[in-house]
Amino acid sequence: MAVQQPTIYDVARRAGVAPSTVSRAFGRPERVGARTREQVLAAAKELGYVPNPHARALQTGRHRTIAMVISDIANPHFFELIRGAEQRAKAAENTLVIVNAEESPTIERDQINGLLRSVDGFILAASRLPDDDLRALASKHHVVLVDRELAPLPSVAMDTGSGCRQILEHFASLGHEEFTYCAGPPGSWMGAARWAALKAGAEEHGLRARRVGPYTPTVANGGAAADGALRSGTTALVAHNDLLAIGIMRRLADRGVRVPADISVLGFDDIFAAELVQPTLTTLGGPDAHAGRLAVELLLDLLKAPHGHHVGDDGESPHRIRLPTSLVLRESSGPAARPAPAP
Amino acid sequence: MAVQQPTIYDVARRAGVAPSTVSRAFGRPERVGARTREQVLAAAKELGYVPNPHARALQTGRHRTIAMVISDIANPHFFELIRGAEQRAKAAENTLVIVNAEESPTIERDQINGLLRSVDGFILAASRLPDDDLRALASKHHVVLVDRELAPLPSVAMDTGSGCRQILEHFASLGHEEFTYCAGPPGSWMGAARWAALKAGAEEHGLRARRVGPYTPTVANGGAAADGALRSGTTALVAHNDLLAIGIMRRLADRGVRVPADISVLGFDDIFAAELVQPTLTTLGGPDAHAGRLAVELLLDLLKAPHGHHVGDDGESPHRIRLPTSLVLRESSGPAARPAPAP
DNA sequence: GCAACTTTGGCAACCGATTGCCTTTGTTTC
DNA sequence: GAAACAAAGGCAATCGGTTGCCAAAGTTGC
């Protein structure tokens, strides 16, 4: 258990060369003779030598590791994001470590602080940190945002504007005259953006927008959200995300409200459970895996860039990427009931 | 971006003391005077000093970090495990990093190798690595297994034996005379253990056991599994896990087979989607979060133990923990149909 | 055959912490 | 007031790599 690992010094002795030669045999192959290099490599293999990344990082400042901080790892929405990010990181020979913030800014901060010196950069997915914290962090470290935008940080997010327009058109074409938005946590930038877009576009689609909440977006909290929304006597409901939407549908079923006959329910993210539930859930999804890949790519670009060079300074594209979304029509949305059912 | 961080030398200069004093002010408070310590702490705070964990690890050999390698991070079964492990790790002031093995032994090995020198130990959840690899790893590092057992490594797993007995009793009491097991991936120890337990106990419950597969346990693969099982004209079906079971139910519904009227379907793990699907899924669940906590605890014990001291040597309890499971009865299981429906 | 150059390998400083050992200073004891 | 001891802080070695610089050896050109 936890036996002493061989070092370059062990390898050097075995190969009959100096430690520096061993180091170069790995990192600067052109700086050593071909024969010597082979001997070193052979000795290393025999001994089972594995370089110590931290001793190296101490000198070079590079860890070849990037951290992905997820606001809630239990949310399936992040699966594909993680998978995409992992693939891209591996292709660049970087390790991706994933840490969970459990929807708490405090925990998120702690997790980040704990990794500050261990990783080359951070990808923050749906960060709940205040803007100022984010800017402060970004002034000292490489940071890429996912599901959030904040100038001048590079970010990858779904195109909320066009996505919400699709939702509004969907509602309008089905004859709805209003809808209720069940809000997510106050710290969610995405949540705020969704509501802003829905509210802003409502009027031109002839819709009235209402909001209830905030709710922590879990299936369990759907009950409260459903009750809150029912009181408003609405015909259409948009939930902060699919998890909350699913919880809402369960509660509606329990209360004898039919979906979509009495009320239409929409979610965001298109998680895999959206098509497992009964009725299946209409939801606005996007290319999550692609978002993960792009986030890693942005971060790798940042790492390559000279220090202190802020992207977007010189009129070059500001690396604020918006990905197209698509409304996946399923069974939970349909023509407006009228008049709205009494609670 | 990635600006130079202050070191103990900066803090030392600022506080007017030697670097060693700064180090002790943090790590050995009793070795410095109260006044000096305050000055150092103040200077550190002003400068925003954060200790470099790797420079420290270089000297001490401890990283205060543990790695959790998950065979498939997209499987909701691991949510609670991760959450429990995280909580326990945090309580002990350790960072938990999560890495994904994507159901591949090769990737799992690579991920582990990449972290060998960066963490104090590994928790391998549902490892797909061969026994020999695991033993070799454990001879050089601290390793705790989850959802797998292999002497003499410490492990945490659900009690398959008693769990499967519950399933068999359930089937027998509902009048089933046989059942089909839809197997998971060949590398899954848990899968093998489940089948072994089901098969071993079948006879004494008057049941015939059959097996089809293997299948990669995802919802998408449920189609193939359902077709495979249907051919055998069975009345009861046990899937490797809930994901596969859900996929199976979808396919059965598409083919017009009624659950549970025509066929009962059971899963393992009790993931959150199990009660979202229609019909809701009967499944064998366990205390996942608790398993996560225990795994971290075992690992922390290992780290404290003197090197080379193998647990279980001296007759002390061998740290092979089995957690009680419980069969969660839902709608997907019911009395046997007879005769079995033609395919 | 010698100067100039290139290739190859070694020496030693360095990254940022920790820690054994020593020195200085202060306190206690008789 | 001197001896004995404890407390507090500093010096320097160390962990495992990387890298600038130098020296030795081998090449090339004339």
How do residues A103-144 score in pLDDT, each as one tens digit?
Answer: 899 999 988 988 888 899 999 999 999 999 999 999 888 999
Sign of CA dihedral B6, B9, B15, B19: positive
Indicate whether B295 and B275 sit together in one domain.
no
User: Could you tell me if residue A35 is inside a domain?
Assistant: yes
Is the pLDDT at A311 greater than 70, yes or no?
no
pLDDT at A313: 45
Task: Work out the mean pLDDT of chain A and round it to a whole number.
Answer: 89
A30 is a domain residue? yes
Residues lower than pLDDT 50 in chain B: 307-315, 340-343
Sheet (strand B142-146) strand order? A320-323, A155-158, A142-146, A121-125, A65-70, A95-100, B95-100, B65-70, B121-125, B142-146, B155-158, B320-323
Q: Is residue A236 part of a domain?
A: yes
B18 and B91 housed in the same domain = no
Q: Indicate whether B269 belongs to any domain.
A: yes
CATH number of the domain that B170 lies in? 3.40.50.2300
Residues B83, A102: C-beta atoms closer than 8 Å: yes
Residues spanned by the domain of B301: 65-146+289-323
Residue A305 CA to residue A311 CA, distance in Å, equals: 9
Q: Judge whether residue A7 contacts strand D, using its CB and a 7 Å cut-off.
A: yes
Q: Does residue A178 lie in a domain region?
A: yes
- Of A255-259, A292-296, A312-316, the least confident: A312-316
User: What's the start-to-end Cα distance of chain B, in Å?
Assistant: 64
C1’ C21 / CA B54, Å: 25
Domain end residue (candidates: A236, A269, A286): A286
pLDDT at residue A312, as a whole number: 43
Question: Is residue A310's pLDDT more than 70?
Answer: no
My answer on whether B224 and B207 are in the same domain is yes
Average pLDDT over residues A25-46: 90
Indicate the Cα dihedral angle B192, B198, B201, B207, nearest 10°: -140
At B278 the pLDDT is 87
A273 pLDDT more than 80: yes
Disruptive mutation site among A54, A102, A104 for chain B (greatest number of B CBs within 10 Å): A54
Number of domains in chain A: 3
Query: SS3 for B258?
Result: coil
* pLDDT, tens only, A204-224: 999 999 999 799 999 999 999
Same domain for B75 and B39, yes or no, is: no
Location of structure tokens 């000093």: B49
A219-270 pLDDT per residue, tens:
999 999 999 888 888 999 999 999 999 999 999 999 999 988 999 999 999 9
The torsion angle over the Cα atoms of residues A209, A215, A216 and A219, rounded to 10 degrees, is: -80
Residue contact B1–A117, C-beta within 8 A: no
B 41-100, residues with C-beta < 7 Å of strand D: 55, 58-59
Taking the CA of residue B7 and the C1' sugar atom of nucleotide C26, their distance in angstroms comes to 31
- Shared domain for B187 and B93, answered yes or no, is no
Q: What is the pLDDT of residue B338?
A: 60
CA–CA dist A85, A96 (Å, integer)? 8
pLDDT at B321: 94
For the segment A294-323, the average pLDDT, to the nearest whole number, is 72
Residues B194, B230 within the same domain? yes
The verdict on residue A36 lying in a domain is yes
A33 touches strand D (CB under 7 A): no
Beta bridge partners of B326: B285
β-strand pairing of B178-182 with A95-100: unpaired
Domain presence at residue B338: no
Sign of CA dihedral A46, A47, A48, A50: negative
- A194 and A281 part of one domain: yes
| Same domain as B296, residue B279 | no
Amino acid B163: pLDDT: 94
Give the pLDDT of residue B3.
61
Query: Which pLDDT value is given to residue B337?
Result: 75
Owner of token pair 């000055």? B39
Whether residue A278 sits in one domain with residue A168: yes
Domain boundary among B239, B265, B286: B286
Question: Same domain, yes or no, for A269 and A213?
Answer: yes
CA-closest candidate to residue B51, choices B19, B13, B18, B14: B19
For position A18, which CATH number holds? 1.10.260.40
Question: Cis link prior to A279 (omega < 30° from 0)?
Answer: yes
- Same domain? A236 vs A164: yes
pLDDT at A322: 95
pLDDT of residue A81: 95
A59 CB contact with strand D at below 7 Å? yes
- What is the average per-residue pLDDT within A140-156? 93
B24, part of any domain: yes
Whether residue A230 is found in the same domain as residue A278? yes
